[in-house]
Amino acid sequence: MKRYKIGYTQGVFDMFHVGHLNIINRAKEHCDFLIVGVNSDRLVQEYKHKTPVINQEDRLRIVENLKAVDRAVIVETLDKLSSQKELQYNAIFIGSDWKDNPRWQQTSRDLAEVGVDVVFLPYTEGVSSTQLRSHEEEKIGE
């Protein structure tokens, strides 16, 4: 696989789990410098209609302390053209579970026009913050 100078990935990273770690570590394998965008609490509320369990400052602190992360930033937008203009990355890394998503297909076309590759990395099956949250809620209800 092609190697990139600056790579980027973005997520909520709420209730940090091995799937988050895998995507970050796999992204770092393909770039010299990895920037990780952590979605702000406001942004998560806006598009997911829920408040993260862990606040944005703590999520940022967790992410920026990972060995594979060269820089972590709070992001206020899902618009990848906007984040690319600001952060100047050459590739964006995303889980393969998004590959057939129309929004990501359009994002791939948009970023290609400015010379940025969208790289779909293997998705870690069986773990997500949503699953963890619902499992916790089930335990509380017992």
pLDDT in tens, 30-52: 999 999 999 999 999 999 999 99
Instruction: Quickly tell me which residue has 């990780």 as its tokens.
Output: 36
Predicted local distance difference test score (pLDDT) of residue 106: 96
Confidence check: pLDDT of 53 > 60: yes
Containing structural domain, residue 25: 4-141
Q: Phi, psi (5° rounding) for residue 91? A: -150, 145
**Residue 126 — pLDDT band, cuts 50, 70, 90?**
low
Which carries the bigger pLDDT value, residue 60 or residue 141?
Answer: 60
Predicted local distance difference test score (pLDDT) of residue 125: 73
Rounded to the nearest integer, the mean pLDDT of the chain is 91
To the nearest 10 degrees (0 to 180), the angle between helices 102-112 and 80-87 is 40
For residue 13, the domain's CATH number is 3.40.50.620
Give the Cα separation of 85 and 133 in Å (integer).
Answer: 34
**Structurally, how many domains does the chain consist of?**
1
Rounded to two decimals, the pTM is: 0.87
Confidence check: pLDDT of 139 > 80: no
**pLDDT tens-digit readout, 67-97:** 999 999 999 999 999 999 999 999 999 999 9
Give the Cα separation of 29 and 39 in Å (integer).
Answer: 23
Predicted local distance difference test score (pLDDT) of residue 128: 60
